[in-house]
Amino acid sequence: MQMDLGGKHVLLFGASRGIGRAAAFGFASARARLTIVARRQDALDLLAGELTKAGAAGVETLAADLDERDATVAKVREVVARAPVHVLVNNTGGPPGGPLLEADEGAILKAMGRLVLTPHAITKLVVPAMVSAGYGRIINVVSTSVKEPIAGLGVSNICRAAVAGWAKTLSRELPPGVTINNVLPGYTDTERMLELREGAGKRRGISGDAVLAEWLSAVPEKRLGTADEIAAAIVFLASPLASFIRGVSLAADGGRLQSI
């Protein structure tokens, strides 16, 4: 049982670092053709060469910012016109941390735009070709806060929950052969996690290491996850092996979640 995506075109957002970068290499090893998206063209150019060496069937780059919805959707429309997309990975960094009561309306609207509205517009662009091909996979990289809100991540909590509700609704509307699922990373060793932990430490007047120790005390595996471990779940859900998995939120969290 191999995760072979030869002949499939993957549109991957947030590809330049962290989980997105690891997923890009996972798709390359599965022989997929990739369009990688991030804000910085220079980072994408460097990554494209590495992915080609790693086995990707082809790599295109797209510099875009999910906060700039109209411009990003226009660029994706051009990509889809050139090559139908079989796999869409919606992946992007979350909003800054902090209590929800301290967040203003603008911060919430910006996060909802990035995490829900722009992915929705992009999904509407790629689905017709998926339906025609009889094969489509939409994977959203979200957070375990979908199941259990995380203290100090107020805006992120409500927006991530909105993503899960959006995805579950679409899972009932998409035709056979086109699926949508969520991956819920737990505490993962990425730049984003380092930023969150240092920010939480400053707000509470403790060190980032103390915050990390608290986090890991709730994780049965007693360590941070790796970006490659999350990427493996993403590539699996994109593969033919996951053809009967639809509308789920798959936690890859070392057992941290206590909900069933």
Distance of CA 232 to the CA centre of its chain: 12
Least confident of 148-162, 177-191, 197-211: 197-211
Query: Does 197 score more than 90 pLDDT?
Result: no
The pTM score is 0.94
Averaged pLDDT for residues 115-127: 98
209: in domain: no
Averaged pLDDT for residues 188-203: 85
Rounded to a whole number of angstroms, the CA Rg of the chain reads 18
pLDDT tens digits along 33-57: 999 999 999 999 999 999 999 999 9
27: in domain: yes
CATH number of the CATH domain containing 64: 3.40.50.720
Averaged pLDDT for residues 187-191: 89
pLDDT tens digits along 213-248: 988 999 999 999 999 999 999 999 999 999 999 999
Between 69 and 193, residue with greater pLDDT: 69
2: in domain: no
Query: What pLDDT, on a 0 to 100 scale, did the predictor assign at position 170?
Result: 98
Query: What pLDDT, on a 0 to 100 scale, did the predictor assign at position 152?
Result: 86
Residue 130 pLDDT grade (very low, low, confident, very high; cuts 50, 70, 90) = very high
Query: What pLDDT, on a 0 to 100 scale, did the predictor assign at position 251?
Result: 97
Distances (CA, A) of 132 to 42, 84, 200, 229, 235: 34, 10, 47, 32, 22
135: in domain: yes
What is the pLDDT of the chain when averaged over all its residues?
A: 95
SS (H, E, C) 113-124: HHHHHHHHHHHH
Residue 196 pLDDT grade (very low, low, confident, very high; cuts 50, 70, 90) = confident
Least confident of 115-129, 185-199, 214-228: 185-199
Domain that holds residue 162: 9-188+226-252
Between 1 and 230, residue with greater pLDDT: 230
Averaged pLDDT for residues 155-173: 97
Averaged pLDDT for residues 145-164: 94
154: in domain: yes
258: in domain: no
208: in domain: no
How far is 157 from 253, CA to CA, in rounded Å?
A: 16
Query: What pLDDT, on a 0 to 100 scale, did the predictor assign at position 1?
Result: 61
Would residue 61 be called left, alpha or beta, if left means φ above 0 and alpha means ψ between -120 and 50 degrees? beta
Number of domains in the chain: 1
Of all residues in the chain, the percent with pLDDT exceeding 70 is: 99
| Nearest by Cα to 146 from 249, 231, 255, 25 | 249
How far is 125 from 116, CA to CA, in rounded Å?
A: 15
101: in domain: yes
Query: Does 2 score more than 90 pLDDT?
Result: no
pLDDT tens digits along 12-32: 999 999 999 999 999 999 999
